[in-house]
Amino acid sequence: MGGGGGTEEELTAQETALYDRQIRVWGVDAQKRLSKAHVLVCGVNGTTIEFCKNIVLAGVGSLSLMDDHIVTEDDLSANFLIPHDESMHGGCSRAEACCESLKDFNPMVRVAVAKGDPSVIDEGFIDSFDIIVVSCTSLKTKLFINDNCRKRSKRIAFYSVECKDSCGEIFVDLQNHSYLQKKPGGEPEQQELTYASLQEAISVPWKNLPKKTTKLYYAMRVLESYELSEGRNPGETALSDLPAILAWRKDMCDRMSLSESQIPTALLERLLAAGKKEHPPVCAILGGILGQEVIKSISCKGDTIKSFFYFDTADGKGVMEDIPPTPSQS
């Protein structure tokens, strides 16, 4: 069963009227599931705000924002919900600065601020949610939250998303997911997917991955591994770290039996130069795709991303990477 539980409760007349167009697209049962789903977003930035906007407009049951960092000027470039007038957000956390505006998109969705530190999130608190989305946090925190999601008695879907200027990565762990897949000219068929955890996915030896695996996957692993070793959060590296990053790349490639040419220096330079900067058009793309994936997960309709999704403006392409690969991919 997908997030949000069953579909026994009927939609109110107000909900039916408000969501009439999308009900025509994905059906009443899917809308019922959405209206009962509870989503937690840890890390408020340009990408996750695009995601939040999309699921609030879709009619998710509730949305909680967790990000106690005080708004800075850097947040204004990509987060369209934070007003540029400092008098309107001075001293506010990122979550607080966005909460009221998100309510305005759809008053029928409960939007709230959840104060706290994602790195020490309480297991009982996690039980309140069906979907958890994590961004702009360390790999250690992502692994911690993903592991706790998997330990709960109910299924809690886990997503992480990062935008590094012109590049982006989404990770998906739905654990065991059942959904209906449309067949041309026939009735929808029930499908089952088993997902790897983030730890399992990033622990796959690189020599076991398909030769066509996107270079962005390897580059992101090099950066996050280096950041973890240095105790840094995503984006807390710069071009000045390039010599150390190149040495780290060589060490990882030697251990993983992968040619360093699979992780071009130019790509690492781009990612390092990005720092914490997000490119608004890329935020919109990633937030749109993530919103679509969460809706498919909750509604149990349609093929979902399995493991990773990458986008790079250098070629304008989106690439899905199923890691660990299925036997047919190996």
Confidence of residue 1 (pLDDT cuts 50, 70, 90): very low
- 104 Cβ contact partners less than 8 Å away, ≥ 6 residues apart: none
HSE-up of residue 130 (Cα within 13 Å, Cβ side): 21
Average pLDDT over residues 3-29: 75
Contact by Cβ (8 Å): 78, 135? no
Average pLDDT over residues 287-298: 96
Confidence of residue 2 (pLDDT cuts 50, 70, 90): very low
Q: With a cut of 90, say whether residue 168 has pLDDT above it.
A: yes
Higher pLDDT, 24 or 129: 129
pLDDT in tens, 229-284: 999 888 889 999 999 999 999 999 999 999 999 999 999 999 999 988 999 999 99
In 3-state terms the chain splits into helix, strand, coil percentages (rounded to 5) of 45, 20, 35
- Cβ-count burial 57-82 (b if 16+ within 10 Å, e if not): bbbbbbbbbbbeeebeeebeebbbbb
Tokens linked to 202: 């990033």
Task: Report the C-alpha gap between 61 and 109 in whole angstroms.
Answer: 6
- pLDDT, averaged across the chain: 91
DSSP string, 269-295: HHHHHHTT-B-HHHHHHHHHHHHHHHH
- Kindly list the distances between the CA atom of residue 156 and the CA atoms of 21, 107, 149, 151, in Å, as whole numbers in the listed order: 28, 25, 5, 9
Q: Strands of 110-113's sheet, edge to edge?
A: 110-113, 62-66, 38-42, 131-134, 157-164, 167-173, 307-312, 317-321
Q: For residue 263, give the nearest of 325, 205, 304, 221 by alpha carbon.
A: 221
pLDDT in tens, 235-245: 889 999 999 99
pLDDT of residue 29: 87
pLDDT of residue 30: 86
| Helices 215-230, 265-274: inter-axial angle, 10-degree rounding | 50
pLDDT of residue 182: 80
Average pLDDT over residues 99-103: 92
Place of tokens 């998100």: 102
Q: Show the 3-state SS of 75-110.
A: HHCCCCCCCCCHHHCCCCEHHHHHHHHHHHHCCCCE
Higher pLDDT, 62 or 86: 62
pLDDT of residue 3: 47
For residue 196, count other CB atoms closer than 10 A to its CB: 19
Contact by Cβ (8 Å): 54, 43? no
- For residue 165, give the DSSP letter: B
Q: With a cut of 50, say whether residue 298 has pLDDT above it.
A: yes
Higher pLDDT, 77 or 266: 266
Q: With 0-12 CB in 10 A as exposed, 13-18 as middle and 19+ as buried, what is 207?
A: exposed
